[in-house]
Amino acid sequence: MVSIASYRRIEINETIDCINVSEMQRKIEFELNEYKTIIISLKKLKRIDLSGLYMIYLLKQKSPANTIILEGLENSAFLKAIEKTGTAHLLYKIRA
């Protein structure tokens, strides 16, 4: 019987954009198969574009409750991207 560990923390230290968003999504989805909960820390995020915001939104929406926890939503790069892209309404949905 395969045992699933309780959680895994993924630190995003640089950028999530159209160049690396697919790779990042695959990594997170792979980790979801190995761990019950994934904690994604955006505390050190340097930049995120619309594709990165949408990836986070989709992962959060399609995952069962409490399997993806987001930290660092107060990060200035994250908040700036939400403001510039007009996606502030998504912030409330991904906080839930």
Reported pTM: 0.84
Closest CA to 42 of 22, 24, 29, 58: 24
For 40, phi then psi, to 5°, come to: -105, 115
Closest CA to 76 of 47, 35, 36, 40: 47
> What is the set of domains in the chain, with CATH numbers?
5-95 (3.30.750.24)
- Model confidence at 95: pLDDT above 80: no
pLDDT by residue (tens digit) across 35-70? 989 999 999 999 999 999 999 999 988 888 879 999
